[in-house]
Amino acid sequence: MFDAIHEECGVFGIYEGKKTDVASSVYFGLYALQHRGQESCGIAVCDDGVFNHKKAEGLVSDVFSRDELKRLGKGNMAVGHVRYSTTGGQNHNNIQPLVIRHVKGNMALVHNGNLTNAADLRRSFELSGAIFHGTSDTEAIAYQIVSERLHSSSTEEAVERAMPHIKGAYSCILMTATKLIAFRDPNGFRPLCIGKTHDGAYVIASESCALETVGAEFIRDAEPGEIIVISENGLNSIKTHCISKKNICIFEYIYFARPDSVIEGVSVHHARMKAGNILARCSPVDADIVVGVPDSGLDAALGFSNASGIPYGIGFIKNKYIGRSFIQPEQHQRESAVKIKLNVVRETVCGKRVVMIDDSIVRGTTSARIVRLLREAGAAEVHVRISSPPFIHSCYFGTDIDSEENLIACNCSSTEEIARYIGADSLSYLPVEALGELIDNRNGFCCGCFTGNYPVDITGAGSKDKFDEKLHKITEE
């Protein structure tokens, strides 16, 4: 409905070591990660080697009632997932966890990221007789691990042998009858962290904010390439695939993650404040008020205000009760969609020169509507500042950025032309060369969607959102 970047997936796992209400713990963890995916969700519980699971389309609170959590029963470990599809469409078989029964046991897999060689992996397995039920790349990961498990002494060894064959971004949690295994791609594109509760339970999550919801203390981030094995023997680490350079997606800090999360030692709130600070320094403007577009624009707006001395104000109220299921049946009704999601606080902006801070511009249509809302509320001027550089390339590692032909920065010859399109008096983006400042230049990061320079080879990855089409062509062949 809205011209915006969509959330990533979120993964959560807990190992208690004793039978308890682990389903409720995962529920709270997924609730904290709901911002990363609002399309579907699922939980799988292990009770003495027996797996019980539930997954469906919808928000965590809609899918899992008290009775549903009770039906899952108690167990000693569990995994969960919230999903926004980046590879694979809205197919029920793509909802995670993927629960698989194979010759050497059961496993449940959850995945955040996107593989660049998913179609090739799938074709290879299908030619050997494998049957796929969905279209997500997570299923290809599962097949690769199961294939390696046939010739390995343990599941962690199978994961270790599978990792060289799966290319791209993946932060995964795998549950077997006796172990919880987490593993992260060697570039560390997507976040993954480890926590521990006061009673000794280990927790793995996409973001540190989810640890706090179950009373777990943050221990550390999983290293890129690391395999973490949690069992009755405690926590063990396999680092044969670890490399020295990190390539965390910089957009995790700009948009995806919750502001109270800390990723690779950097506060997301701090990074967004820094983005606003840089914008004020690099693109100053005479104005009366600074407002942020909820949610990720708010911290950057506060940073812009602090650096510029222009007062910060609440310019928008977001209707938090609108989920992804809210769609407009008629084209002419789409124009009112932004008004339903965002209301302007007229008293804040009326008669004032407004600096509007947002996290990104994709096609430009939503930005144009938001600028129009400010003008209808009486804003004398609207100066747009974006806390990221312009998108000019696709992402192959899980960020749902539109194809290049649909990106406004690829279709306009200048920033001034984009400003005219969205109806702004001026427009400025965060400079690409300033991205390192967001994380205090302490870690490596991927910014391929802004520069076209990707940290790994993307040959054969195909065009954005063409995975289903590639599968269709393979079927025809």
Residue 391: C-alpha distances to residues 374, 428, 449 (Å)? 24, 13, 6
The amino acid at 49: G
Radius of gyration of the chain from its Cα atoms, rounded to whole angstroms: 22
What is the separation, in whole angstroms, between the first and last Cα of the chain? 35
Could you tell me the two tokens for 317?
């109220």
Sheet with 10-20, edge to edge strand ranges: 50-57, 40-47, 75-83, 10-20, 202-205, 193-197, 216-221
Q: Residues 156, 228: contact at Cβ < 8 Å?
A: no
291, containing H or E segment: strand 289-292
Handedness of CA 66, 68, 73, 77 (dihedral sign): negative
Sheet with 168-175, edge to edge strand ranges: 98-102, 105-115, 168-175, 180-184, 227-231, 234-238
- Work out whether strand 353-358 and strand 381-386 pair parallel, antiparallel, or are unpaired: parallel
Q: How far apart are CA 26 and CA 79, in angstroms?
A: 7
Asked if omega into 47 is within 30° of 0 (cis), the reply is: no
130 secondary structure, DSSP code: -
**Is 447 assigned a catalytic role?**
no
Alpha helices in 223-313 (DSSP H): 251, 268-282, 297-308
The residue assigned the tokens 């698989």 is 100
Which residue is catalytic, options 9, 46, 193, 447?
9
**Residues carrying an active site annotation:** 9
